[in-house]
Structure 1
């Protein structure tokens, strides 16, 4: 029964993700998107900001600032709908830039690289210098990926039809993220066949633990 529920949950998550991608594309590609599409498209970023504010050392002012921003958006929803593409550009390019900085700033040493820190959480046994050298390269690859994604987002928005940019931001970005995770997993099996194994799901869980520990430390 547990296995069946797990499969149903995965199917439900896949359906929700597909619906979100479709609505995100429709909202970001249309010059006059419906309000519900914009609200749903902005939901992940809104939830992330609220979560970060709640876990911040300055919880009360951060939450008040977020709530004030949401109120301002609600009072000016029509103006936002008229410039929805710019909102989606700021959301997409902003997230890519922030993630690129977060990964890139940890490249100072092999053991301090972000993927090295995640590996320490995911793997119980001590890791050697060779493993940290590999995870440093993975951190560099993610940094380059986010930098290229930011440049492509800005370039397509400025130079290409809006539908092309929306296709890249709403559809190709989640697909490329999945390919990055899957590709890294396959490369790791080839480069470090005797290394301690951990799955993509463990990687994501370890990243969440890392961010929670970092927020708690701040």
Structure 2
């Protein structure tokens, strides 16, 4: 239960940061949110395994450095860091026996076929591409000083794109499953 609560709080705080900035970029709430995220990332690392653990602790350490500096401006890069962490997590799994997506798929379908395994590898690559795209958009927005766009993209648009990607992948997966069953 604690795991679910921590994951939910990290997700909500990550979504809230750009939106809070959009509402009031001078708010003390930004620093409070930063200080909330630090222990959450370290706690999250306690129940994770291998690569995910170290990436969570890296994120917590990075946020700690930003907090010690006393400037929330470093938090502008937080969405890029999160996408980078996810890219490392998903991307590194491409060189392991099972990708992140395959591990998730096996929770519902333990006896995944070889076609299913190939499909999960392609989906893992798709997610890596999505994370790279997000990192690029966030970096360009920040380098061009487009903070309003950064806030809208990081707090709204990227989550809409995430939902579209998840929905589209689910639809394709249903088709792929039917095709595998009919073979």
Q: Same fold (TM over 0.5)?
A: yes
SS at match of 2:93: coil
Partner of residue 144 from structure 2, selected from 136, 147, 159: 159
* C-alpha distance after superposition, 1:82-121 (max 9, x if no partner): xx343231x1111101111111122237x62221122122
Instruction: State the 1:145 CA deviation.
Output: 0.6
Q: Matched residues in 2 for 1:134 and 1:56: separation? A: 24
SS at match of 1:192: helix
Name structure 1 gaps, 5 residues minimum: 1-12, 197-218
Taking only aligned residues, the RMSD between alpha carbons, in angstroms, comes to: 3.7
Superposition pairs for residues 174-185 of structure 1, below 5 Å?
A: 174-185=159-170
* 1:96–1:128 distance in 2 versus 1, CA, 3 Å: same
Superposition pairs for residues 200-211 of structure 1, below 5 Å?
A: none
Instruction: State the 1:170 CA deviation.
Output: 1.5
Q: Matched residues in 2 for 1:27 and 1:120: separation? A: 39
* Structure 2 residue 101 is the aligned partner of structure 1 residue 115: yes
Q: How many residues align?
A: 165
Given that residues 76 and 142 in structure 2 are in contact (C-alpha distance below 8 angstroms), is that contact kept between their aligned partners in structure 1? Answer: no
Q: TM-score with structure 2 length normalisation?
A: 0.71
Match of 1:105 in 2: 92
Match of 1:27 in 2: 21
Given that residues 28 and 88 in structure 1 are in contact (C-alpha distance below 8 angstroms), is that contact kept between their aligned partners in structure 2? Answer: no
Match of 2:129 in 1: 144
Name structure 2 gaps, 5 residues minimum: 1-7, 51-55
Q: Matched residues in 2 for 1:29 and 1:96: separation? A: 23
Match of 2:42 in 1: 49
* 1:195–1:28 distance in 2 versus 1, CA, 3 Å: farther
